[in-house]
Structures are given as structure tokens and as C-alpha cells.
Amino acid sequence: MAAVRLVHLKTALHRHGGTPSIPPPWTIFRLPNKTFRLFSTSVSPPSKAVVYEEHGQPDAVYKLRELPPVPIKDDDVCVRMLASPINPSDINRIEGVYPVRPAVPAVGGYEGVGEVHSVGSAVKGLFPGDWVIPSPPSSGTWQTYVVKGQNVWHRIDKSTPMEYAATITVNPLTALRMLEDFVDLKPGDAVVQNGATSIVGQCIIQLARVRGIHSINIIRDRAGSDEVKEKLKKLGADQVFTESQLEVKNLKSLLADTPEPALGFNCVGGNAASSVLKFLKNGGTMVTYGGMSKKPITVSTSSFIFKDLSLRGFWLQKWMTSDKAKECRDMIDYLLSLTRSGELKYDMELCPFDEFPTALDKALGKLGSQPKQVIKF
């Protein structure tokens, strides 16, 4: 077991005339002309975790387990998790259908925010009480204590609302990268997207608005669609259409004063993807980042020949594995600053860890349409 430097508090205090009152186990304390950094024991506390030992339906294969303490190496940081979301990709990892997934048995979760509990003796720049997120994201965040190397953790501003800190590294970062990586957009340009009510969709609307870019948004037909339209327009959407409204021959006539978009985003597939393509101007690009309908994308021959449209794909995990840790963290800090200023917001629901089964049912769609579920530890 790697050694962790310890200070015997009582001895140190007596040595310098202090009073031997015992602070929390991670305390940094100062005496005249001396500063002591008090490390925890060389193992983490026991951890409660959501574990799956085989792939399958999440509600059938997960178990709530207590895990034993984990050794803390010299360059490790022990983090007490504060919150972590249930993302669709988390569900896919448990099902065993996601392209990259941890070997089973595994702890669920891929992003989140926590508070530094204790550090190894070689750790610099992180201290107990700091708020950190794994960046790039890292598997195993659905547990009360996580021990990983210092290079995994990125310190963030503690004034950030906890639920936004927990969810910033997957959906908002996807929205930002897709707006910046495919077409050189200028203020006054436009984008079009389906799945506009998703977290990525809400972020695209707001990030586009910050840049002076118009957004055309497609939502599915459902009860309360008028209220959904108004909500998206309050976020900054210029145009919002239901899929049935697009059953006309000339979609461009619906745009009014909004310019034809050069860039489109598809997370649905099927007819919803075709609608995005119809809005795009000549030479436009559609980026696919999801396939919620599980239907293929069908492209007319004329879209390729006469409109010269391009079809691209985006997968955040692939982008983040390209030695972009510094760039990724800078963008996360930028996105978090927007959440603190109120320029970036999206629907979430905090759920106590003890109520994880209910949160999972909501994430699986068993209880109808629900906001993003964020587990609070």
C-alpha cells in the first residue's frame, strides 16, 4: 500500500503550544511559523454504489452495494461525490450496447461533481473542500466516494449550481463542439435542429443566441406542444415547429425573415432527419449525434446532386480522446460561467441517492416524459 504522509495532530499542536482540539480529518491548519497539511488515512471511506455485474436491462441488473475502502496512492484524490446524472449513454453502457464501456462488474455513471475529501502526499493544487469534476469524464460516478489520480480531476468554481456542475461535460459540451467544429458560423447565420427539447437541443438554442445565430427548432407532436414552443422561445429559439407543421411542400416558406441554415443537427433520425435536410441551404451540413427513433436517415438523390449537402457525425467521447484535456477544461469553465450568469439553463430534477430506483424509472421513460434525472448523494 502506498504511503500517505500523516501528521499526528495532537503531537504537532503540543509541540507548538496549541490546543489539542480535533478538527475534521482532512484539515489544513496553521500555527506560528508553521503550516501543516493533514492527510486522511491511506484508504477511502466505504462507498455506497450502483453496481452492475452483467449487461442487460438497467432496472434488472443493477444492485445497490456497499464497497470496501480503496487505497489512496501518493498521487490519488479521494472525492466525495455530490451529484451525478443519469444520461442515455449511461443506460446504453449498462445494456452493453455502447461502443466504449467499462468491463463488468462496474459502477455506473460517467460524469458528476464532487468535493475533495482527502489527497495523497504527492498531490499539488487540490485541497480538501475543493469542488472537482472528472474531465474528461470517467466511469464510476454513481457512488459516494471515488478515488482516482489527480490528473482526472478538474477544480471548478464552488459558486456553480451543483446540478449544472454535475451535467456540464456531456450534453452542453456536445452542443458547443457541434456549433464550432463543422461550419464557420457568423452572427446572423442560422442553424436547424430536431430534438430541440433535449438537453443538447436546449443548449444549442442558448449557445447560438449568445453568438447572434438564429435557431430553427423541430419538436414532435404531443399534448402541450404550444407550451413547449413558448418555453423554447424564452430560451432564445427563433422558430419552433412541430413535425406535423412541416408536412408542406415548401418548408422555406415557413422561415419568414430567418435565413436558410447552413448547419443542421439530428438526434432523432427517420422523418425528423429528413425535415432538417429540407431546411438546409445549398452546400449545408447535417451533423448526426443520436438516433432516438432508431430509424435510419434517408436522403434523396437530389439533396446530394442539386443541393450538395454533407452528412457528418459527432461523438463527444472520440473528440475528448484526442489529447484535448486542456482545451476541454477551458470550454467547461466557459460553459459553467454561462450557467452562473443565467445565460445557460436546462431542465433537471435532483433525486436523492436513496431514491435511485425511481430516478432510474424516470430516466428509462417508465413514468412518461421527465426532466434529466440528477442523483444527489
Instruction: Check: CB of residue 243 under 8 Å from CB of residue 273.
Output: no
CA 331 to each of CA 60, 235, 346: distance values in angstroms, whole numbers, following the listed order: 37, 21, 18
Note if 62 is an active site residue. no
Q: Where are the beta strands (DSSP E) in 301-347?
A: 310-313
d(CA 233, CA 218): 12
Task: Provide the residue type at 373 as one letter.
Answer: Q
Q: Which residues pair with 265 in a beta bridge?
A: 193, 287
d(CA 280, CA 316): 24
Point out the catalytic residue in the list 52, 98, 289, 346.
98
Task: Provide the residue type at 277 as one letter.
Answer: L
**Of 157, 195, 154, 156, nearest in space to 178 by CA:** 195
Q: Which residues pair with 31 in a beta bridge?
A: 34
Residue 61 three-state SS = helix
Which residues are catalytic, by number?
98
